[in-house]
Amino acid sequence: MNYLTFPKIGIGTMENPFRPDTTSTWWQVVEERENEFVIEILGEL
């Protein structure tokens, strides 16, 4: 498991949604917290 924690960025709009501040291209949220996301990096395709 490759779990990492990233700050939550965005303002919650379609154009700028809440999301983890990561440059990874393949990930899934494992846990959502008030100001951050724990995500699993699944790879880079």
Partner 1 sequence: MMIGIGVGVGFQQGVGSFVQIPETPPSNIIVSDTFNREDSTTALGNADTGQVWTVVAGTWGIIANQVYNAGNTTNAIATVDTGYSNCTVSVKFATVNTNMKVMFRVNNSNSFLHIERAPSSYDLWRNNAGAWTKLATHPSSATNGDAINVNLNGNEITAYLNGSLMYTITEAFNATVTKHGIGANSSGVRFDDFLVESL
- Nearest CA among 17, 33, 24, 35 for reference residue 2: 24
Task: Determine if 42 is a binding residue for partner 1 (CB under 8 A).
Answer: yes
Which one of 3, 5, 18, 34 is in contact with partner 1 (CB under 8 A)? 18
- Of residues 2, 3, 7, 32, which one binds partner 1 by CB under 8 A? 32
Work out whether 19 is an interface residue with partner 1 (CB under 8 A): yes
| Coil vs helix vs strand at 3 | strand
Give the residue carrying structure tokens 């846990």: 31
* φ, ψ dihedrals at 28, nearest 5°: -140, 145
Q: Which residues bind partner 1 (CB under 8 A)?
A: 10, 12-14, 17-19, 25-32, 42, 44-45
